[in-house]
């Protein structure tokens, strides 16, 4: 098959051991994102299969309609809100997905951001490399309140790390998260306002869907302390557009550590958060480690092989009638 892999920003895919699974296929890899839909169509027009790296490409109804040769979208991961599944089904495009979830990598990275941002690690290290010997005062984690919005598998791992650091765990989310918090011995917040007011470090661990999109409002952020830190390694769209920048400018919360953005990749420093000294920005690194990449891409490539060989598929759009080679 003719396989296209768009938006491999790090040029990592050919370095993965699982890449050998695609031997014998014609493969084209793009590192830089397409400028618009027309350029994207030009890149994908001859593809039988496109490997969708998470949500880096938005597969709209318009785009799908302009790719008549497309038979399969091999999703890296389990679900992507950026794919119009109904349009894929109507055009006979099989969307295959992974089955595994790597919760350790994003949990570890969340804790890394928390410690780095709370203790001023990055700013101090950069200043020292430039020849200075600064000594800013930072905030201790022990004894502070770690607010976790969404106690799923990632949130639970972050909570465990917080306990190990001597933090008090405060939980908010749906009924399931609050019930799980009580079962595990964590404190459910008395209310949404109570959660945002009391959290010294507040981290988001929600799956992005129509119910959670823009769930964090300007009013929520205005409740936070001037000394508090908000961490987002989940999805930028969980926060109302522009709300975080405005809140940081208003001083509540006082700090942020962010790994996700509405438009990615962010290049040439073109984002308002990058201009704020009280914000630690990372380029969507939470999932970017070897074990996770081998797992996620391996499952995507395995589905391509099965698609070609008539094997059973893990379909995200099970109603589709696949147009196999």
Q: Give me the catalytic one of 55, 235, 237, 299.
A: 235
Q: What's the rounded Cα separation, in Å, for the pair 321 and 226? A: 55
Whether residue 140 is contained in a domain is answered as yes
Same structural domain for residues 176 and 30?
no
Whether residue 318 is contained in a domain is answered as no
Same structural domain for residues 57 and 81?
yes
Write down the pLDDT at residue 135. 79
Same structural domain for residues 266 and 300?
no
Q: Give me the catalytic one of 108, 264, 289, 294.
A: 264
197 is catalytic: no
Write down the pLDDT at residue 78. 85
Same structural domain for residues 117 and 242?
yes
Same structural domain for residues 163 and 264?
yes
CATH number of the CATH domain containing 65: 3.40.50.720
Q: Give me the catalytic one of 118, 205, 284, 299.
A: 284
Write down the pLDDT at residue 120. 95
Report the domain count for the chain. 2
Same structural domain for residues 63 and 139?
no
54 is catalytic: no
Write down the pLDDT at residue 227. 98
The CA-atom distances, in angstroms, between 240 and each of 109, 216, 246, 290 are 23, 6, 11, 32
271 is catalytic: no
HEC states along 12-66? CHHHCHHHHHHCCCEEEECCCCCCCHHHHHHHHCCCCEEEEECCCCCECHHHHHC
Same structural domain for residues 277 and 296?
no
Per-residue pLDDT of the chain (325 residues; tens, 9 = 90+): 999 999 999 899 999 999 999 999 999 999 999 999 999 999 999 999 999 998 899 999 999 999 999 999 999 998 888 999 999 999 999 999 998 878 999 999 999 999 999 999 999 999 999 999 977 999 999 999 999 999 999 999 999 999 999 999 999 999 999 999 999 999 999 999 999 999 999 999 999 999 999 999 999 999 999 999 999 999 999 999 999 999 999 999 999 999 999 999 998 999 999 999 999 999 999 999 999 999 999 999 999 999 999 999 999 999 999 998 8
Whether residue 304 is contained in a domain is answered as yes
Q: What's the rounded Cα separation, in Å, for the pair 109 and 207? A: 17
Same structural domain for residues 265 and 179?
yes
Quote the pTM value.
Answer: 0.91
Same structural domain for residues 169 and 241?
yes
Question: What φ, ψ does residue 71 adopt, rounded to 5°?
Answer: -110, -30
Same structural domain for residues 174 and 113?
yes
Whether residue 25 is contained in a domain is answered as yes
Same structural domain for residues 189 and 94?
no
| Burial call 92-101: b when 16+ CB within 10 Å, e when fewer | ebbbbbbeee
Q: Which residue has the tokens 């499952």?
A: 299
Whether residue 323 is contained in a domain is answered as no
Write down the pLDDT at residue 171. 98
Same structural domain for residues 240 and 120?
yes
Containing structural domain, residue 88: 2-101+290-309
């Amino acid at each position: 098959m003719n396989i296209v892999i768009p938006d491999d920003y790090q040029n990592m895919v050919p370095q993965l051991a699982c890449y050998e699974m695609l031997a014998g296929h014609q493969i084209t890899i793009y590192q830089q994102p397409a400028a618009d839909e027309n350029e994207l169509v030009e890149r994908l027009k001859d593809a039988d299969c496109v490997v969708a790296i998470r949500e880096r490409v938005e597969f709209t109804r318009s785009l799908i309609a302009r790719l008549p040769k497309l038979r399969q979208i091999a999703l890296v991961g389990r679900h992507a809100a950026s794919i119009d599944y109904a349009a894929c089904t109507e055009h006979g495009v099989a969307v295959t997905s992974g089955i595994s979830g790597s919760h350790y990598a994003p949990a570890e990275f969340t804790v890394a951001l928390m410690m780095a941002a709370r203790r001023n690690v990055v700013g101090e290290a950069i200043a020292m490399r430039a020849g200075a010997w600064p000594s800013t005062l930072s905030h201790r984690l022990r004894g502070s309140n770690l607010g976790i919005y969404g106690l799923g598998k990632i949130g639970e791992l972050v909570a465990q790390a917080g306990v190990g650091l001597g933090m008090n765990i405060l939980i908010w989310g749906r009924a399931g998260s609050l019930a799980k918090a009580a079962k595990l011995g964590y404190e459910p917040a008395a209310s949404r306002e109570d959660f945002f007011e009391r959290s010294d470090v507040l981290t988001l661990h929600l799956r992005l869907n129509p119910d959670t999109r823009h769930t964090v409002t300007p009013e929520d952020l205005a409740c936070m302390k001037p000394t508090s830190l908000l961490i987002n390694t989940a999805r930028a769209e969980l926060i109302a557009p522009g709300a975080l920048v405005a809140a940081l400018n208003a001083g509540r919360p006082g700090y942020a550590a962010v790994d996700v953005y509405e438009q990615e990749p962010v290049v040439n420093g073109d984002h308002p958060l990058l201009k704020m000294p009280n914000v630690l920005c990372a380029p969507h690194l939470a999932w970017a480690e070897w074990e996770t990449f081998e797992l996620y891409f391996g499952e995507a490539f395995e589905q391509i092989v099965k698609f070609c060989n008539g094997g059973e598929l893990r379909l995200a759009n099970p109603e589709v009638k696949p147009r196999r080679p």
